[in-house]
Amino acid sequence: MNKAELEKKVGKITKDVEEKITSMGAPVEEITNDSVSVEVFPNRPDLLSLSGFSRSLNQYLGKEKIAKFKIENDKKIEKDYKVKIDKSVKKVRPHTACAIVKGLKLDDEKIKEIVDIQEKLHMSIGRKRKKIAIGIYPMEKIKLPIQFMAKKPNDIKFVPLESPGMKEMTGAQILRGHPAGRDYADLLKDAEVYPIFIDANNKVMSMPPIINSHETGKIDEKTKEVFIECSGFNLPYLKKCLNIIVSAFSDMGGKIYSMDIEDSVDGNFVSPDLEPEKLEFKVSDMNKTLGLELDEKEVKKYLEMMGIGFESNNKKTFALIPAYRTDILHWIDLTEEIAIAYGYENFKPEIPAISTTAEEDKNARTKKVIANILAGLGLLECSSFHLAKKNDVKKMHYEMTNEDFIEIVDSKTEYDVLRVDLLSNLLKIFSENSDSQYPQKIFEIGKVFEKDKSPLAKRSETGIIEKEKLSVAVVDESVNFMDARQILDYLFKMLDIEQDKYKIEDVENSDYIQGRVGKIVVHGKEVGFIGEVAPRVLKNWKIKMPVSAFEIDLEALGMISN
Amino acid sequence: MADKSSEKSNEKINGDERIVETLSPIERKILPVLKKHALDIDSISGKAEGDKTTALRALEFLKNKGLVEIDEQKKKIVQAGINGLFYLKKQLPERRLLNELAKRNMIPIKDVEKLGLNENEAKISIGVLKKKAVIDLKNGNIILVGNKDEIARKTLEEKLLESLPRDLESLEPQEKLAFENLKSRRDIIEVIDEKKVSVKLTALGEKVSKMNLKEDLIEQLTPKIIQTNAWKGKKFRRYDLQTSGKKIYGGKRHFVNQATDYAKSIWMEMGFKEMTGTMAQTGFWNFDALFTAQDHPVREMQDTFFIKNIEGKLPEDKIVKEIRKAHEGGIEFDGKSKGWQYKWDENVSKKVSMRTHTTCLSAKTLKKIAEAKEFPAKYFALGKCFRNETVDWSHGFEFNQTEGIVVDENANFRQLLGYLVSFFKKMGYEKIRIRPGYFPYTEPSLEIDVFHPEKKKWLELGGAGMFRPEVTIPMFGRHVPVLAWGPGFDRIIMESFKIQDLRDMYKNDLTKLREMKFWRK
């Protein structure tokens, strides 16, 4: 927001006001000499315009009363103030909500604000124009009444805004050849017909959600009156969006005029409707949820700070929700409004005396025990990412194909798969720490992932099996199999797995040196591997010294249960 | 009965005697050799019958005890090179040529090599002598022109060579000239750096050196000494307690896990039960059960790690139906909730991703609590979450969250603040900022910030709130108040470990892990 423009409306932005803005629920990100940036949460699109933001801030600071928006022609709507929704458009973009605003005195700053709010609404509640597309037209260029209809892409012909060479284009050409057309082509991808607004002279005004016509043009400093439409799929949202825009226009000094929307399919209505919505609530519910003891008067005060009206009669209490608020679905949404007005910093934190029993997860405790045993042997615990790089995994598991990997879609990082083992991570650590003191003895406990290939009925919820594993690795100039074996023996002994309950069975595994690798079998069940890592693997990782390691499945070992 | 006899009493000894008791056998040997004036190290080690390295180490100890002063001087020493040593025996080639000329007055140039000079030596000798103007070259002959007395005298070069080794600094201007001449010739002389160490006694050293250094002190206590009572009535040599031992490192838990254990204990002290679960989750539990609309940006690829080609399964129909209702509108809550007013798609719900928050564990636990109808209940989780994010100092793509829920008919917003403030206080944060926030699944919602003193800005730790009826009603069939939170954990602890950049959290730099201080809160 332009700081000078904002200060015109709300007064000087002091440190104190800055804090108030954050307490109001729009955390200040940066204030410079000429701009103020705040974060607006998705539930408050009405704060996205300078007008809307300063309206709410002034109310919050107690400088402004609840906004009342007047409809100039509420007694009788002029005959031509009409938008007819043709049946043809129902298949592609079924709804629109429209309004007329007059008496505007626009300047550069205001025009910028209008363009800006339109863009921000498109991006946020409009979901990049998919749900809502907004059009604003200077009244002097169009003739009422207006029709919202759909035609075949090739039957639509007009000169779009920013048309290359000011050429007339068909609907289909715009999607292929116009920059905005290409950007939003997806939104009309499979449509047989494209929606258009046309005026009483049959001139195409726009083809939502893509582009306006060059002829009906853009608003400029000479524009005094505008026609506004919001088109999309969900009428209640469209109405709210329109309300946000017209309230902002009204704050700029515009006068709002209603239109008749003729919809032979879903029913006629008058647009816009700026009557506040009346929502019944109980003060006691507010107090119970917030842990406060407010009376009606206080609740009224706090709601009004948030721009919400308050009414009570016959022992019933009502909140009057301004037409531009999209986020108040039921009474629970009022609790936050009151909390914000009360001030989060003014709540007294309290811990209630409710009796519950604490309990640590048993598996987590077991893992801690194992980690402590190994730390006691002088091993360093490491902690690496659960995501891995496919190429790193293949340094050991060269036989893995793309099929075997659990891949990430469009990762923004270099990590593109879920890890399949822990030992690869430990080798990576050795590879990156060749300048650190030797010997290096490390371990990690954590999850590894594999595809669940069992039939659908038996498959896990996510189709992925997550296994809790332990890996230990030692590297030094003269490390051999025994260095890992020693650690395994001690660990098993401490876990009460006696020597006669497990054995290391000779096995073929080219990840390790032949004759120095074995399957670890406990109570007749295979739980993992132990061995000297094959020189091929060490070379791949650029590790210059021998590595001896083991990796075991803690669930198979019976240490962890699911 | 305990043996009360002791080693020789140390009472009443004076400072100087104490010093004597700290002297090791080699120091005892060296000390008497030293003088008030400086001696160089070679003569000291020679007299003390030890090698130079041992002597130097002992002298260093003596210096620490204030008994000696060690003066180290770096010098450049000129000494004879390989050829120089040879010429010292056989004379310089120009001398050999000159000697021959003294006999014959004239030698044909081509005969010079017959004098036993190689080609190079011959060339140089002629050059040198010509420069000294003692010979002339005519018609292929070398003719002696200098007078015989003159040539009989030793040249400056010869004199210098014979005087070596010499300190470079000590050369006279004339000698410097000869030095330059010889240096330009191959391997006659060379210059080496030499550290000259000289040692003299301090006043205290002089005093101590005259004391009795012969007393037999026990050096290393051995099993034999213990057994034979040989220690009785004897003194042990005093050690220099200021000397550090060789660096050692121990094994230990990863620092994040140390902090995790502590944080878990905080929650357990407050009566919370731990919940755990899978890291991959379906959209149903990660988003839908938490009233996050299916077209919410977080459910797009650019924010979440979705798994390729794997479709998850939904839970039993009943809960799916309820969640669908919450989204599409129609949950009964003082009238109908409006929901998100769109068509909820089961297939979107089946998409599998790495969990974006541990709140999915809360959602699952909530269902269990509702089924068992066992509440009040308090649960916590502390585990990894994943976001498809570009990584920087304050954003990691894998990070821990500390999650909690309190299910209680009387739960309220003040209690939510109570649990959070209490947790953060125990984590070392006296000052946190709580401000309004927004999450699709909570109302009211809040954000917790801490002030980062180095970066001088508020750092967002994450959010909390009370679950919306759209979350609780599908589970419980009615609205039961649930307090819920899930601040990021890694950001909370980075300060304590003096980590400036979240990227260093899981880097596994072994040197740093070895040096990393233990968590002590």
Domain ranges of chain A: 3-60, 82-271, 277-346, 362-553
Is there a contact between A381 and B515 (Cβ–Cβ < 8 Å)? no
B325-359 burial by CB neighbour count: b if 16+ within 10 A, else e?
A: bbbebebebeeebebbebebeeeebbbbbbbbbbb
**Cα–Cα–Cα angle for B46, B52, B58, rounded to 5 degrees:** 100
pLDDT given at position B91: 87
Domain A3-60, CATH 3.40.605.10 — does that match? no
What would the two tokens of residue B150 be?
A: 């003159």
pLDDT given at position B11: 53
pLDDT given at position B17: 84
Beta-strand relationship, A157-158 and A169-170: antiparallel
Rounded CA separation B67/B69 (Å): 7
Is there a contact between A200 and A98 (Cβ–Cβ < 8 Å)? no
Alpha helix stretches (DSSP H) within B373-453: 413-426
What would the two tokens of residue B378 be?
A: 């308090």
Which amino acid does the sequence have at A173? Answer: Q
Cβ pair B334:A331 closer than 8 A: yes
Please report residues of B whose CB lies closer than 8 A to that of A40. none
Please report residues of B whose CB lies closer than 8 A to that of A379. 251
Which of B247, B254, B256, B467 is the mutation pick for testing A, counting most A CBs within 10 A? B254
What would the two tokens of residue B218 be?
A: 């026990």
Is there a contact between A474 and A546 (Cβ–Cβ < 8 Å)? no
Intervals of chain B under pLDDT 70: 1-13
What's the topology of domain A82-271? Phenylalanyl-tRNA Synthetase; Chain B, domain 3 (3.50.40)
Same CATH topology for B15-73+197-228 and B256-279+359-515: the answer is no
Cβ pair A408:B511 closer than 8 A: no
* Kind plus residue range of the DSSP H or E element containing B262: helix B255-269
- The structural domains of chain B, with segments of one domain joined by +, span 15-73+197-228, 79-187, 256-279+359-515
Any A CB within 8 A of B456 CB: no
CA of B272 to nearest chain A CA: how many angstroms apart?
A: 5
- Tokens 């030890």 correspond to B50
Is there a contact between A360 and A39 (Cβ–Cβ < 8 Å)? no
Is there a contact between A154 and A92 (Cβ–Cβ < 8 Å)? no
DSSP state of B290: G
| Residue from the list A43, A290, A372 with its beta carbon closest to the beta carbon of B438 | A43
Rounded CA separation A83/A169 (Å): 25
Instruction: Give the DSSP letter string of B445-505.
Output: EEEEEEEETTTTEEEEEEEEEEE-HHHHHHHHSS---EEEE--BSHHHHHTTTT-S-GGGT
pLDDT given at position B253: 97
**Minimal Cα distance from A335: which residue of B?**
B444
Rounded CA separation B443/B466 (Å): 5
Please report residues of A whose CB lies closer than 8 A to that of B389. 412
**Cα–Cα–Cα angle for B124, B125, B127, rounded to 5 degrees:** 65
pLDDT given at position B336: 73
Please report residues of A whose CB lies closer than 8 A to that of B390. 412-413
Please report residues of B whose CB lies closer than 8 A to that of A356. 271-273, 376-378
A121: left (phi over 0), alpha (psi -120 to 50) or beta: alpha
Any A CB within 8 A of B177 CB: no
Rounded CA separation A413/A431 (Å): 21
Integer-rounded Cα Rg, in Å, for chain A is 34
Q: Which of residues 281-340 of B touch A (CB under 8 A)?
A: 281-282, 295, 301-302, 305-313, 315, 333-335, 337-338
Return the closest-CA partner of residue A362 out of A496, A232, A554, A156: A554
The per-residue pLDDT for range B477-499, each reduced to its tens digit, is 999 999 999 999 998 898 889 89
Return the closest-CA partner of residue B109 out of B140, B66, B136, B63: B140
Rounded CA separation B424/B418 (Å): 10
CA of B242 to nearest chain A CA: how many angstroms apart?
A: 25
Question: A277-346 in CATH: which number?
Answer: 3.30.56.10
Cβ pair A335:B391 closer than 8 A: no
Contacts of A147 by beta carbon, 8 Å cutoff, 6+ apart: A83, A84, A85, A86, A197, A198, A199
What would the two tokens of residue A44 be?
A: 């408050």
What would the two tokens of residue A410 be?
A: 């469009």
Rounded CA separation A135/B160 (Å): 102
Alpha helix stretches (DSSP H) within A252-361: 283-290, 296-305, 332-342
**Cα–Cα–Cα angle for A134, A139, A140, rounded to 5 degrees:** 140
pLDDT in tens, chain A (562 residues): 888 889 988 999 998 999 999 999 999 988 988 999 999 988 898 998 888 999 999 999 988 888 888 899 888 888 899 999 999 999 999 999 999 999 999 898 889 889 989 999 998 888 889 889 999 999 999 999 999 999 999 999 999 988 777 888 998 889 888 888 888 988 988 889 999 999 999 999 999 899 999 888 788 899 999 999 999 998 988 999 999 999 999 988 899 999 999 999 999 999 899 999 999 999 999 999 999 999 999 999 999 999 999 999 888 999 999 999 988 888 899 999 999 999 999 999 999 988 899 999 999 999 999 999 999 999 999 999 999 999 999 999 998 988 899 999 999 999 999 999 999 999 999 999 999 999 999 999 999 999 999 998 899 999 999 999 999 999 999 999 999 999 999 999 999 999 999 999 999 999 999 999 999 999 999 999 999 999 999 999 999 999 999 999 999 998 888 7
Neighbours of B410 (CB within 10 A): 11
Q: Which of residues 359-388 of B touch A (CB under 8 A)?
A: 376-378, 384, 386, 388
DSSP state of B242: T
Cβ pair A386:B264 closer than 8 A: no
Q: In terms of CATH architecture, what is A362-553?
A: 2-Layer Sandwich (3.30)
Question: B397 by DSSP, 3-state: which?
Answer: coil
Question: A406 by DSSP, 3-state: which?
Answer: coil
Beta-sheet strands, E only, within B202-317: 273-274, 280-282, 306-311
Is there a contact between A516 and A528 (Cβ–Cβ < 8 Å)? no
Same CATH topology for A3-60 and A277-346: the answer is yes
Rounded CA separation A327/A277 (Å): 12
Please report residues of A whose CB lies closer than 8 A to that of B397. 385, 387, 412-413, 415
Cβ pair B253:A411 closer than 8 A: no
Is there a contact between B290 and B440 (Cβ–Cβ < 8 Å)? yes
pLDDT given at position B346: 94
Return the closest-CA partner of residue A25 out of B457, B431, B465, B287: B465
Question: ipTM of the predicted structure?
Answer: 0.90
What would the two tokens of residue A208 be?
A: 């939502």
Question: A499 by DSSP, 3-state: which?
Answer: helix
User: In chain A, count of helices (H) and strands (E)?
Assistant: 15, 27
Integer-rounded Cα Rg, in Å, for chain B is 44
DSSP state of A345: G
Rounded CA separation B92/B132 (Å): 15
Task: Specify the CATH class of B79-187 in words.
Answer: mainly alpha
Question: B256-279+359-515 in CATH: which number?
Answer: 3.30.930.10
- Backbone phi, psi, residue A422, to 5°: -100, -30
DSSP state of A456: G
A299-329 burial by CB neighbour count: b if 16+ within 10 A, else e?
A: bbbbbbbbbbbbeeeeeebbbbbbbbbbbbb
Is there a contact between B278 and A466 (Cβ–Cβ < 8 Å)? yes
Cβ pair A352:B273 closer than 8 A: no
Polymer length of chain B: 521
Q: Which of residues 480-519 of B touch A (CB under 8 A)?
A: 481, 505-506, 508-511, 513-514
- Half-sphere exposure in the Cβ direction for A325 (13 Å, CA): 24
What would the two tokens of residue A507 be?
A: 């096995």
What would the two tokens of residue A81 be?
A: 């103030």
Alpha helix stretches (DSSP H) within A65-169: 108-123
What would the two tokens of residue B320 be?
A: 């799916």
Burial category of A508 from C-beta neighbours within 10 Å (exposed 0-12, middle 13-18, buried 19 and up): exposed
Domain B15-73+197-228, CATH 2.60.120.380 — does that match? no
Rounded CA separation A16/A21 (Å): 9
